[in-house]
Amino acid sequence: MNSALHKLSFGAIALFSLLIGLYPSTYFLVDRKFGLLSSKSDALLVDLFWNIGFYGHIMFGGLALLVGWAQFIKKIRNKRPVLHRNIGKVYVFSVLISSICGIYIAHYATGGLTASLGFILLGLVWFYTTLNAYLFARKGDIVRHEKLMIFSFAACFAAVTLRIWLPMLSSIMGGFVPAYRVVAWLCWVPNLLVAYIIVRNKQP
């Protein structure tokens, strides 16, 4: 039963990661006033540095989602370690770029200071856990590497949980902006709590 539930949960995580990982491509296929961009001012939308930050964040963040979940497949880790390392390098590179870009554009987040602080802290946590997971892997400390990668992907998965929470909160709170202030924290803090429980239960 636990095995079946684990497979079902992992399958759902993989599916959502793939779907949301591909989501940034829609920004290249439709009018720029689509989605989150519809809440931005015309002046911000033509700002060069903000555009670099925005597209760097969504493109590399999407790539991190697309490949990150595969790092937790035991068969790949155990039987194809070279593939595991190569996927990991793509994930780490993508996260470092996306998190830095995310921290920058978070200063312009819709919803003001409350939303900005939530997304800035998310970016810092994502950057820190991913970089240190990589450094521990380089040192051969696989136990700490694995634990930090769980936290890293929990932060990465905020892109998914944000899109689950936001429509519900917008309906409950009667608007996008107040909901966005809450979701700036709700999309990642519970994820880290779940990651903590998983890490704690993995301890002997």
Kindly state the average pLDDT of the residues 19-44: 79
Kindly state the average pLDDT of the residues 188-194: 97
Return the domain boundaries, the chain.
2-202
Average pLDDT, the chain: 92
DSSP state of 27: G
163, 136 in Cβ contact below 8 A? no
What percentage of the chain reaches a pLDDT higher than 70?
A: 95
Kindly state the average pLDDT of the residues 67-72: 94
How far apart, in whole angstroms, are the C-alpha atoms of residue 158 and residue 160?
5
Alpha helices in 33-112 (DSSP H): 42-45, 48-68, 74-79, 81-106
pLDDT band at 89 (very low <50, low <70, confident <90, very high): very high
| Radius of gyration over every alpha carbon of the chain, rounded to an integer in angstroms | 17
- 11-28: pLDDT as tens digits: 999 999 999 999 888 877
